[in-house]
Amino acid sequence: MLSIMKFSVFQILVFLLFSSFLYCQAVVRHTFIVQDTEYTKLCSTKTILTVNGQFPGPTLYVNKGETIIVDVYNKAHYNITIHWHGVKQPRYPWSDGPEFITQCPIRPGQKFSQKVIFSTEEGTLWWHAHSDWSRATVHGAIVVYPKNKNYPFPKPHADVPIVFGEWWKRDIVEVYNEFLHSGTDPNISDAYTINGHPGDLYPCSKSDTFKLMVNYGKTYLLRLVNAAVGDILFFAIKNHQLTVVGTDGSYTKPLKVDYITISPGQTIDVLLEANQPLDHYYMAARVYSSADGVEYDNTTTTAILQYNGKYAPSSPSPLPYLPYYNDTSASVNFTGRLKSLADENHPINVPLNVSTNLFFTVSVNTLPCIEGNACEGPNGTRLSASVNNISFVSPSIDILKAYYLNISDVYSNKFPSKPPLFFDFTADSFPSYLETPKQATKVKVLEYNTTVELVFQGTNLLAGTDHPMHLHGYSFYVVGWGFGNYDKEKDPLKYNLVDPPLQNTIAVPKNGWAAIRFKAINPGVWFMHCHLERHFSWGMEMAFIIKNGEGPKGKMLPPPPDMPPC
């Protein structure tokens, strides 16, 4: 009797162990319900698109190398797609998300189960809508934990996503439609937000402020995500230095700073030591805007870092120092100091032997007026934007499907490796004939396993400004950057090939250039675009097709059965 009892207890233990093992192996599923939700901010109420009713949307927590499934239900009144920003999705572009690049939109009432495949990413990424400007409110953080929570720094006391957003009092669809119709810049936003809260410097926002409670003596990992629609931001915390430890899902050498610069699309992980006298301290963010003559939202969003304990907080609380709105040297001073951690546990693999050199100009342009449209751009034109003088025209079925099924007339595969004309790209003025781009849907086709160096050259056509360029399906090493025209003899001599940062978004500095390298080992269709939404809407984007390589490991996986129909 006793022995039977023992045996059954043992059996139960085995069963429990086995089932928990099975549970761990099961693919984790998440539900995203895209819906219309009423929100009140800055004294006015409006309906916004959200995921699960939240702004920002839910944070996804995953372990390095995991695959998850997100069931996206569109219960709203707009078409939507969801992109997993910075997730490489090896050989599986099908759930990458950009509308008419890798899928057609999920229509109201439809569902799409998106498989999200994590591989080498570790740190912070994010997800967002990738159709028109709905990503203004449809976005959230992704936290990728290291194996066994084994960080290359002492384990932080807590993990805090800090998501920056941008808020218009008006409906974002109205702002977007009016912008498209006008042919000129969009209306500037009314506020920036930190985790959905504008903070107490705005009217009616005293109680709409994000608060981070901390214990003296502890260290916190802040996972910063810039989800703003069109603005690079400076961020700082009063009296606290920040130690940068990662960007775009990859570790960096620890870098102590007083402020950070963060581009739309970029993530930055910082350690915050709660080592100051017990008090309330402001965190603040405001725009870095480098384009001359372009209006910007000059407001400041704040949150409060509040120490636990009994004390009377000082009042008023001073704001932290932030660089001036147009301080380009402050911006690049931060961005240019990022370096990969590159230690023995986090080795890097910078491609040294380049086989394909690409040189892409990124420009703001004008198009002649078309009847029936407003033409409020300079001299009665419509603003536009381009890569290598080609302003991207969105196709009406997705490029991935056209490629996979060999459907012709959807895109041309003749995207040029260099611009049609070489001139002084960063001159003060230009003959007006240079201003008008071509309009086309062109992709650059690369053989599998090519080693690519891509130099982005910013131009001063219309108004030079920073362009945060984002590549899907890859992370790339940022091996160099500078101001003025890229010099192909001298500039490569100054490249960092030892510990360049591994990123998925790089802000090409105003009237300058940035050089990136990657190895084309992820077959599929991968979008590349400026992450300032107005430039994106004007056509500052293109796509790569990376062909299949040898063997099954070099080939794209087949599509899932539930791809949204066109």
Ligand X SMILES: *[C@@H]1O[C@H](CO)[C@@H](O)[C@H](O)[C@H]1NC(C)=O
The interface mask with ligand X, positions 438-457, x = CB under 6 A, is: x----------x--------
The angle subtended at Cα 52 by Cα 48 and Cα 56, nearest 5°, is 60
Q: Which residue has the tokens 């009994």?
A: 310
Select 188 or 469, whichever has its Cβ closest to ligand X. Answer: 188
Q: What residue 438 binds from Cu ion, ligand X, none (CB within 5 to 8 A, per partner kind)?
A: ligand X
**At closest approach, how far in Å is the CB of 409 from Cu ion?**
29
Q: How far is CA 188 from the centre of its chain?
A: 20
> Which residues make up the interface to Cu ion (CB under 5 A)?
467, 530, 532, 535
Q: Is 460 in the site for ligand X (CB under 6 A)?
A: no
Q: What residue 554 binds from Cu ion, ligand X, none (CB within 5 to 8 A, per partner kind)?
A: ligand X
Residues 521-550 that bind ligand X (CB under 6 A): 549-550
Select 214 or 514, whichever has its Cβ closest to ligand X. Answer: 514
Residues 380-439 that bind ligand X (CB under 6 A): 389, 406, 408, 419-421, 432-438
**At closest approach, how far in Å is the CB of 488 from Cu ion?**
23
DSSP code at position 329: H
The interface mask with ligand X, positions 89-118, x = CB under 6 A, is: ---------------xx-x-----------
Q: Which residues contact 318 (CB under 8 A, 6 or more apart)?
A: 238, 282
Please check whether residue 514 is in contact with residue 456, taking contact to mean a CB–CB distance below 8 angstroms. Answer: yes
Cβ atoms within 10 Å, residue 255: 16
Q: What residue 434 binds from Cu ion, ligand X, none (CB within 5 to 8 A, per partner kind)?
A: ligand X
Q: What residue 417 binds from ligand X, Cu ion, none (CB within 5 to 8 A, per partner kind)?
A: none
The single residue among 113, 187, 219, 357 that binds ligand X, judged by CB under 6 A, is 187
CA distance 242 to 336: 16
Q: What residue 353 binds from Cu ion, ligand X, none (CB within 5 to 8 A, per partner kind)?
A: ligand X
Closest by CA to 524, choosing from 453, 446, 451, 470, is 446
CA distance 297 to 33: 31
CA distance 552 to 557: 9
Residues 334-363 that bind ligand X (CB under 6 A): 353, 355
Q: Strands 451-458, 60-63: parallel, antiparallel or unpaired by DSSP?
A: unpaired
Binding residues for ligand X, rule CB under 6 A, total 36
Select 52 or 184, whichever has its Cβ closest to ligand X. Answer: 184
* Tokens, residue 375: 């033409």
Please check whether residue 76 is in contact with residue 35, taking contact to mean a CB–CB distance below 8 angstroms. Answer: yes
**3-class SS at 366?**
strand
Q: Is 254 in the site for ligand X (CB under 6 A)?
A: no
The interface mask with ligand X, positions 224-253, x = CB under 6 A, is: ------------------------------
The single residue among 146, 152, 254, 378 that binds ligand X, judged by CB under 6 A, is 378
Closest by CA to 386, choosing from 346, 440, 433, is 440
Cβ atoms within 10 Å, residue 2: 6
Q: Which residues of 518-550 are buried (b: 16+ CB within 10 A; e: fewer)?
A: bbbbbbbbbbbbbbbbbbbbbbbbbbbbbbebe
Q: Is 196 in the site for ligand X (CB under 6 A)?
A: no
The single residue among 11, 308, 329, 413 that binds ligand X, judged by CB under 6 A, is 329
Strand partners, 459: none
Residue 432's Cβ-side half-sphere holds a number of Cα atoms within 13 Å equal to: 6
Residues 10-69 that bind ligand X (CB under 6 A): none
Q: What residue 532 binds from Cu ion, ligand X, none (CB within 5 to 8 A, per partner kind)?
A: Cu ion
Q: What residue 406 binds from ligand X, Cu ion, none (CB within 5 to 8 A, per partner kind)?
A: ligand X
Which one of 174-182, 217-225, 238-246, 269-277 is the stretch in contact with ligand X (CB under 6 A)?
A: 174-182
**At closest approach, how far in Å is the CB of 360 from Cu ion?**
12
Q: How far is CA 544 from the centre of its chain?
A: 18
Residue 541's Cβ-side half-sphere holds a number of Cα atoms within 13 Å equal to: 27
Residues at the interface with ligand X (CB under 6 A): 79, 104-105, 107, 170, 174-175, 178, 187, 298, 326, 328-329, 333, 353, 355, 378-379, 389, 406, 408, 419-421, 432-438, 449, 549-550, 554, 566
